[in-house]
Protein backbone atom coordinates (compact mmCIF):
# COMPACT_ATOMS: atom_id res chain seq x y z
CA UNK A 1 0.00 0.00 0.00
CA UNK A 2 1.25 3.47 -0.88
CA UNK A 3 1.80 5.70 2.14
CA UNK A 4 -0.44 8.62 3.03
CA UNK A 5 0.05 11.43 0.57
CA UNK A 6 -1.19 14.70 -0.87
CA UNK A 7 -0.30 15.19 -4.52
CA UNK A 8 -1.28 17.78 -7.13
CA UNK A 9 -1.53 16.08 -10.48
CA UNK A 10 -2.20 17.82 -13.80
CA UNK A 11 -1.59 16.63 -17.32
CA UNK A 12 -3.60 16.00 -20.41
CA UNK A 13 -4.70 12.43 -19.73
CA UNK A 14 -8.44 12.78 -19.29
CA UNK A 15 -10.44 10.33 -17.19
CA UNK A 16 -13.66 11.97 -18.36
CA UNK A 17 -15.01 13.09 -21.70
CA UNK A 18 -17.36 15.58 -23.30
CA UNK A 19 -19.98 13.81 -25.38
CA UNK A 20 -22.09 15.71 -27.87
CA UNK A 21 -25.68 14.77 -28.62
CA UNK A 22 -24.61 13.77 -32.12
CA UNK A 23 -21.89 11.46 -30.80
CA UNK A 24 -24.27 9.91 -28.29
CA UNK A 25 -26.90 9.31 -30.95
CA UNK A 26 -24.25 7.74 -33.18
CA UNK A 27 -23.48 5.33 -30.37
CA UNK A 28 -27.14 4.41 -30.03
CA UNK A 29 -27.64 6.64 -26.95
CA UNK A 30 -30.30 9.36 -27.26
CA UNK A 31 -30.46 10.30 -23.58
CA UNK A 32 -28.74 13.65 -24.06
CA UNK A 33 -29.89 16.08 -26.74
CA UNK A 34 -27.15 18.48 -25.70
CA UNK A 35 -23.58 18.06 -24.51
CA UNK A 36 -22.95 15.68 -21.63
CA UNK A 37 -19.80 15.54 -19.48
CA UNK A 38 -18.66 12.14 -18.17
CA UNK A 39 -16.10 11.68 -15.39
CA UNK A 40 -14.76 8.13 -15.05
CA UNK A 41 -13.05 7.31 -11.77
CA UNK A 42 -10.62 4.73 -13.14
CA UNK A 43 -7.54 6.69 -12.08
CA UNK A 44 -6.49 9.18 -9.42
CA UNK A 45 -5.08 11.81 -11.78
CA UNK A 46 -6.68 14.40 -14.03
CA UNK A 47 -10.32 13.45 -13.45
CA UNK A 48 -12.38 14.88 -16.27
CA UNK A 49 -9.19 16.34 -17.72
CA UNK A 50 -8.89 18.77 -14.79
CA UNK A 51 -6.06 19.11 -12.27
CA UNK A 52 -6.77 16.77 -9.36
CA UNK A 53 -5.44 16.81 -5.81
CA UNK A 54 -5.22 13.44 -4.04
CA UNK A 55 -5.52 13.47 -0.25
CA UNK A 56 -5.17 10.52 2.11
CA UNK A 57 -4.81 7.18 0.33
CA UNK A 58 -7.79 6.45 -1.96
CA UNK A 59 -7.30 3.17 -3.83
CA UNK A 60 -8.09 1.95 -7.32
CA UNK A 61 -10.20 -1.22 -7.00
CA UNK A 62 -11.96 -3.60 -9.34
CA UNK A 63 -15.71 -3.20 -9.87
CA UNK A 64 -18.26 -4.84 -12.20
CA UNK A 65 -17.85 -1.76 -14.44
CA UNK A 66 -14.05 -1.47 -14.51
CA UNK A 67 -11.72 0.23 -12.06
CA UNK A 68 -13.23 2.53 -9.43
CA UNK A 69 -11.86 4.74 -6.66
CA UNK A 70 -12.38 3.49 -3.10
CA UNK A 71 -12.46 5.88 -0.11
CA UNK A 72 -11.78 4.82 3.49
CA UNK A 73 -14.21 7.17 5.28
CA UNK A 74 -11.37 8.73 7.30
CA UNK A 75 -9.32 11.17 5.21
CA UNK A 76 -9.48 10.04 1.56
CA UNK A 77 -10.71 12.46 -1.05
CA UNK A 78 -10.08 13.97 -4.51
CA UNK A 79 -10.30 17.70 -5.19
CA UNK A 80 -11.00 18.46 -8.85
CA UNK A 81 -10.43 21.97 -10.18
CA UNK A 82 -13.76 22.22 -11.96
CA UNK A 83 -17.46 22.80 -11.23
CA UNK A 84 -19.05 20.82 -14.08
CA UNK A 85 -22.51 22.44 -13.72
CA UNK A 86 -21.21 26.03 -13.82
CA UNK A 87 -23.36 28.31 -15.97
CA UNK A 88 -26.13 25.78 -16.60
CA UNK A 89 -29.74 26.86 -16.12
CA UNK A 90 -30.87 23.23 -16.01
CA UNK A 91 -28.94 20.09 -15.10
CA UNK A 92 -28.91 16.41 -14.34
CA UNK A 93 -26.11 15.14 -12.09
CA UNK A 94 -25.78 11.33 -12.00
CA UNK A 95 -23.26 9.18 -10.14
CA UNK A 96 -22.49 5.46 -9.92
CA UNK A 97 -21.34 4.61 -6.41
CA UNK A 98 -21.19 1.91 -3.73
CA UNK A 99 -21.76 3.02 -0.11
CA UNK A 100 -20.05 0.69 2.37
CA UNK A 101 -21.51 1.83 5.69
CA UNK A 102 -19.59 4.05 8.08
CA UNK A 103 -20.67 7.16 9.95
CA UNK A 104 -24.18 8.58 9.79
CA UNK A 105 -23.56 11.69 7.64
CA UNK A 106 -21.36 11.45 4.55
CA UNK A 107 -21.08 14.32 2.09
CA UNK A 108 -19.41 12.49 -0.75
CA UNK A 109 -19.70 14.62 -3.91
CA UNK A 110 -19.49 18.39 -3.42
CA UNK A 111 -19.65 20.90 -6.31
CA UNK A 112 -18.83 24.41 -5.08
CA UNK A 113 -18.78 27.85 -6.68
CA UNK A 114 -15.44 29.56 -6.09
CA UNK A 115 -14.44 32.89 -7.66
CA UNK A 116 -10.94 32.95 -9.17
CA UNK A 117 -8.55 34.10 -6.46
CA UNK A 118 -11.33 34.21 -3.87
CA UNK A 119 -12.74 32.10 -1.08
CA UNK A 120 -15.35 29.40 -1.78
CA UNK A 121 -18.87 30.78 -1.68
CA UNK A 122 -21.85 29.16 0.02
CA UNK A 123 -23.33 28.35 -3.42
CA UNK A 124 -23.04 24.62 -3.91
CA UNK A 125 -24.62 21.31 -4.93
CA UNK A 126 -24.00 18.09 -3.00
CA UNK A 127 -24.69 14.41 -3.01
CA UNK A 128 -24.82 13.12 0.57
CA UNK A 129 -25.99 9.96 2.28
CA UNK A 130 -27.25 9.10 5.74
CA UNK A 131 -26.22 5.66 7.01
CA UNK A 132 -28.63 3.93 9.39
CA UNK A 133 -27.19 0.61 10.61
CA UNK A 134 -26.64 -1.42 7.40
CA UNK A 135 -28.77 0.82 5.20
CA UNK A 136 -28.50 4.25 3.64
CA UNK A 137 -30.72 6.96 2.21
CA UNK A 138 -29.93 9.64 -0.34
CA UNK A 139 -29.58 13.32 0.53
CA UNK A 140 -29.45 15.76 -2.40
CA UNK A 141 -28.78 19.40 -1.57
CA UNK A 142 -28.63 22.63 -3.59
CA UNK A 143 -28.17 26.18 -2.35
CA UNK A 144 -27.39 29.59 -3.82
CA UNK A 145 -28.79 33.13 -3.95
CA UNK A 146 -32.56 32.85 -3.38
CA UNK A 147 -32.73 29.06 -3.05
CA UNK A 148 -31.79 26.40 -0.52
CA UNK A 149 -33.33 22.95 -0.45
CA UNK A 150 -32.60 19.45 0.84
CA UNK A 151 -34.18 16.32 -0.62
CA UNK A 152 -33.76 13.80 2.21
CA UNK A 153 -36.17 10.96 2.99
CA UNK A 154 -34.98 8.69 5.78
CA UNK A 155 -37.87 6.28 5.24
CA UNK A 156 -36.47 5.31 1.81
CA UNK A 157 -33.57 3.04 2.73
CA UNK A 158 -31.27 0.79 0.70
CA UNK A 159 -28.70 -1.89 1.69
CA UNK A 160 -25.05 -0.84 1.86
CA UNK A 161 -22.36 -2.74 -0.05
CA UNK A 162 -24.15 -2.60 -3.42
CA UNK A 163 -23.75 -0.40 -6.50
CA UNK A 164 -26.36 2.26 -7.27
CA UNK A 165 -26.96 5.02 -9.77
CA UNK A 166 -28.18 8.18 -8.05
CA UNK A 167 -29.31 11.39 -9.71
CA UNK A 168 -30.45 14.89 -8.95
CA UNK A 169 -31.92 17.21 -11.55
CA UNK A 170 -33.47 20.60 -12.18
CA UNK A 171 -35.67 21.10 -15.26
CA UNK A 172 -36.24 24.85 -14.94
CA UNK A 173 -38.92 24.49 -12.29
CA UNK A 174 -38.57 21.34 -10.16
CA UNK A 175 -35.62 19.91 -8.25
CA UNK A 176 -35.69 16.09 -8.02
CA UNK A 177 -33.65 13.23 -6.54
CA UNK A 178 -33.55 9.60 -7.74
CA UNK A 179 -32.05 6.23 -6.83
CA UNK A 180 -31.79 3.84 -9.80
CA UNK A 181 -34.30 5.95 -11.70
CA UNK A 182 -36.90 5.88 -8.91
CA UNK A 183 -38.00 9.29 -7.64
CA UNK A 184 -37.13 9.88 -3.99
CA UNK A 185 -38.66 13.36 -3.74
CA UNK A 186 -39.04 16.73 -5.44
CA UNK A 187 -39.62 20.42 -4.78
CA UNK A 188 -40.00 23.60 -6.77
CA UNK A 189 -37.02 25.92 -6.27
CA UNK A 190 -35.87 29.23 -7.73
CA UNK A 191 -32.57 27.81 -8.96
CA UNK A 192 -29.99 30.09 -10.57
CA UNK A 193 -26.90 28.99 -12.48
CA UNK A 194 -23.82 28.53 -10.34
CA UNK A 195 -20.41 29.94 -11.16
CA UNK A 196 -17.09 28.24 -11.84
CA UNK A 197 -15.38 26.51 -8.94
CA UNK A 198 -14.10 23.18 -7.60
CA UNK A 199 -15.38 19.73 -6.74
CA UNK A 200 -14.56 17.61 -3.69
CA UNK A 201 -15.15 13.87 -4.03
CA UNK A 202 -15.02 11.79 -0.85
CA UNK A 203 -15.89 14.58 1.59
CA UNK A 204 -17.13 18.14 1.80
CA UNK A 205 -14.76 20.77 0.48
CA UNK A 206 -13.89 21.78 4.06
CA UNK A 207 -12.70 18.23 4.87
CA UNK A 208 -15.60 16.96 6.96
CA UNK A 209 -18.10 14.10 6.67
CA UNK A 210 -15.87 11.65 4.78
CA UNK A 211 -17.29 8.89 2.56
CA UNK A 212 -16.74 5.17 3.01
CA UNK A 213 -17.24 3.35 -0.26
CA UNK A 214 -16.37 3.53 -3.95
CA UNK A 215 -17.21 5.74 -6.93
CA UNK A 216 -16.98 4.68 -10.56
CA UNK A 217 -18.59 7.39 -12.68
CA UNK A 218 -20.37 10.75 -12.76
CA UNK A 219 -22.42 12.23 -15.61
CA UNK A 220 -23.45 15.86 -16.02
CA UNK A 221 -26.15 16.81 -18.55
CA UNK A 222 -27.25 20.45 -19.15
CA UNK A 223 -30.97 19.69 -18.96
CA UNK A 224 -33.38 17.90 -16.67
CA UNK A 225 -33.61 14.30 -17.85
CA UNK A 226 -36.84 12.33 -17.55
CA UNK A 227 -36.81 9.25 -15.28
CA UNK A 228 -36.66 6.84 -18.23
CA UNK A 229 -33.53 8.64 -19.50
CA UNK A 230 -31.59 8.16 -16.27
CA UNK A 231 -28.88 5.60 -15.65
CA UNK A 232 -29.92 2.72 -13.37
CA UNK A 233 -28.79 -0.71 -12.29
CA UNK A 234 -30.23 -3.76 -13.96
Cα gap 125→204, rounded to integer Å: 11
pLDDT tens digits, residue range 63-91?
A: 999 999 999 999 999 999 999 999 999 99
Domain layout of the chain by residue ranges: 5-229
Q: Evaluate if residue 132 carries a pLDDT over 60.
A: yes
- For the entire predicted model, the pTM comes to 0.86
Query: What mean pLDDT do residues 209-213 have?
Result: 98
Q: Which helix (H) or strand (E) holds 25?
A: helix 21-26
Q: Is 60 exposed, middle or buried (0-12, 13-18, 19+ CB in 10 A)?
A: middle
Question: Residue 207's CB: how many other CB atoms inside 10 A?
Answer: 14
Give the list of residues 6+ apart from residue 174 with CB closer than 8 angstroms, or none. 186, 187, 188, 189, 224
| Chain centre distance of CA 151 | 15
The CATH architecture one would assign to domain 5-229 is Sandwich (2.60)
Residue 157 has pLDDT above 50, yes or no: yes
Amino acid sequence: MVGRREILIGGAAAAGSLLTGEALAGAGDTRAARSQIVWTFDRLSSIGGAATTVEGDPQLVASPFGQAVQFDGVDDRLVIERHPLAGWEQFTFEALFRPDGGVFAQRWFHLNEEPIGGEPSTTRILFEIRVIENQWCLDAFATGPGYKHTLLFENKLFPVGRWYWVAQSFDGKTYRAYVDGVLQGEAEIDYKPQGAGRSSVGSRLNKVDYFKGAIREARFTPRGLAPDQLQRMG
